[in-house]
Amino acid sequence: MKAIVLGAGKGTRLQSEQYNMPKVLRKANGKPLLQYVLEALNFLKEEDMTIVVGYKKEMVYDAIKGNYQFATQDKQLGTGHAVLVTEDVFKGYKGPILVAYGDMPLYKRSTYEKMFEIHDSEKATCTVLTAVIDDPPAYGRIIRNTDNQMIGVIEAKDCTKEQLAIKELNVGVYVFDSEFLFENLKSLKNDNIQQEYYLTDIPKMVMEQDKKLVTHTIYHTNEVYGVNTVEELEFCERVLKNQP
């Protein structure tokens, strides 16, 4: 079991340039966002975790101590591209890779562990964590067919009005079969509103290639709230302060 944590982004919506640091180093309750993610994943060996850095990467090297691997994404071309830059790190590795985002500090270790468990027991090619939320933030929407099978993710910015009404969300945690992942990341296209290579286009490819796409859905939890805006950072801080 190995993991990738994405942290190359600048955090434009958080206006963190005025703080001059990558978004994942912004602190909530005294600790960098990225640190929470790494601690929740600490059932893995540090050397089995790869952190993708980019914007002001030296600051991340200074802030994060341990035997983690690092991969550099020079230009922030999207979450799919960010995962692709880790390809060399995983040369020769066949097995599950969990991808998490460094801007989501509230996930518990048990949620990440459960994702590996389900991926393994289902013999899935890709397992996607989803959450049902009544008043959804600007997250990717989970698209299902009439058989209720997941067929893809559409980013909030690319959604039609009808799709925006979907309450099942992509909440930024996935487990992928390593070989399928790196093979297919190369065929991602950036023909979307943000002109980015979206990791969220991979699940659709799994389905199209008749491989097993599994979802694990969680309900009524704060864990899925990440940090894109100042309000969201304040929210996470409040949640973290109330936790023992």
| Radius of gyration of the chain from its Cα atoms, rounded to whole angstroms | 17
CA nearest neighbour of 214 among 95, 127, 122: 127
Nearer to ligand UD1, 7 or 96 (CB): 7
154 binds ligand UD1 (CB under 6 A): no
Nearer to ligand UD1, 70 or 120 (CB): 70
Nearer to Mg ion, 103 or 201 (CB): 103
- In order of 7, 18, 54, 119, the CA distances from 11 in angstroms are 10, 11, 12, 31
DSSP H/E element including 144 = strand 141-144
> Sign (positive/negative) of CA torsion 117, 69, 227, 75?
negative
Residues 183-202 that bind ligand UD1 (CB under 6 A): 198-200
What are the structure tokens assigned to 154, written together?
């559409």
Binding residues (CB under 5 A) for Mg ion: these are: 103, 226, 228
- In order of 62, 67, 107, 116, 139, the CA distances from 111 in angstroms are 28, 23, 7, 9, 19
Residues 28-67 that bind ligand UD1 (CB under 6 A): 52, 54
203 binds ligand UD1 (CB under 6 A): no
Give the Cα separation of 191 and 179 in Å (integer): 24
User: By CB under 6 A, which span of 72-80, 119-127, 160-168, 182-190 interacts with ligand UD1?
Assistant: 72-80
Residues 78-97 that bind ligand UD1 (CB under 6 A): 78-79, 81-82
Residues 5-24 that bind ligand UD1 (CB under 6 A): 6-9, 23-24
- Interacting residues with ligand UD1 (CB under 6 A): 6-9, 23-24, 52, 54, 73, 76-79, 81-82, 101-104, 139-140, 153, 155, 169-172, 198-200, 226, 228
